[in-house]
Amino acid sequence: MTTTPALPPPYRVVAFEAIDSTNEEAKRLAAQGHPDSTVVWAERQLKGRGRRGRAWASPAGNLHCSFLLRPGCEIARAAQMSFAMALALVDAIAALGEGRLAARCKWPNDVLIGGRKVAGILLESAGATMGPLDWLVIGTGVNVAYHPKDTAFPATSLAAEGLAGVAPAEVLVALAAAWREWRERLEREGFAPVRAAWLGVAHGLGEDVAVRLDNATLNGRFLGLDADGALVLEDAHGGRRLVAAGEVYFPAP
């Protein structure tokens, strides 16, 4: 195994050379009572999962990690954590690239460089339908050395963007530091500053988009986020619609 990442308190890293999925392991640890700020890291995943049941290519050389949280909040608020994590990814990439790489956020929680996906987030939680969550797992994958070539949305990697030779552990250290700041900000000040910062680095704001839902596709202009993080879409007649979950695509230039 390459060097296990060392993170400062309050983090505690649980490291694997290979595992099915760091999200699955974080969920198992949650069920065993492991505390907030446990971070599961794996050099490679055998069954890495993306959103909507997709597979997530997880070779050694990329970052695969899952943050276990015991946030004590309700599910609606937990979803806002993924926006904070996307901002942490943007900041971590900026720090690693010493300002040369400007990543942007794509709704709901992808991170792009040059319009191509470099990182994704998979949020999973458990708890009573009403009341505080028992746990929340924020799984994060970053294409550090490699990116898939056959995805519906084009992908890239830090290496392909000129940041070669970076170890996944270095990316995790930068991400954990940035995540700590954004999480604290969200918990201290609420979603408003996170929303504002996210809009400041949003990809495609004001542009025409197609939003794929489970059974339909909506077309319109991406106007922004509502106060809870739903996508605000303007239709051809100037009507506004809020979209809570879906996949955004941009027309080819």
Contact positions vs ligand BTN (CB under 6 A):
21-23, 45, 48-51, 54, 56, 64-66, 110, 120-122, 139-141
Residue 98 or 214 with smaller CB distance to ligand BTN: 214
Distance spanning both ends of the chain, measured CA to CA: 43
Which of 75, 62, 21 shows the shortest CA–CA distance to 245? 75
Instruction: Find the shortest distance in angstroms from Cβ 176 to ligand BTN.
Output: 14
Quick one: which of 58, 66, 202 has its CA closest to 144? Answer: 58
Which residue has 């991400």 as its token pair?
175
Q: Which is nearer to ligand BTN, 141 or 246 (CB)?
A: 141
By beta-carbon proximity to ligand BTN, the closer residue of 66 and 80 is 66
Helices and strands: H and E segment counts in the chain: 4, 12
Closest approach of ligand BTN to the CB of residue 58, in Å: 6
Of 144 and 201, CB closest to ligand BTN: 144
Give least dist CB 43 to ligand BTN, A.
12
CB closer to ligand BTN out of 139 and 220: 139
Looking at the Cβ atoms of 71 and 141, the one nearer to ligand BTN is 141
- In the bound complex, which residue of the shown chain has the CB atom lying closest to ligand BTN? 120
CB of 234 to ligand BTN, least distance (A): 25
Q: Which of 43, 86, 61, 47 is nearest to 147 (CA)?
A: 61
Angle at 245 between CA 244 and CA 249, to 5 degrees: 120
Distance CA 7, CA 97 (A): 20
The least CB distance from residue 240 to ligand BTN, in Å, is 26
Residues 103, 109, 110: CA angle, nearest 5 degrees:
45
Q: Least CB distance from residue 223 to ligand BTN, whole Å?
A: 23
Residue 168: other Cβ atoms inside 10 A: 24
Instruction: Work out how close the CB of 137 gets to ligand BTN at its nearest, in angstroms, rounded to a whole number.
Output: 8
Nearer to ligand BTN, 130 or 152 (CB): 152
For residue 148, CA distances in Å to 35, 80, 118 come to 34, 28, 10
CB 229 within 8 A of CB 108: yes
Measured CA to CA, the distance from residue 235 to residue 201 in angstroms comes to: 23
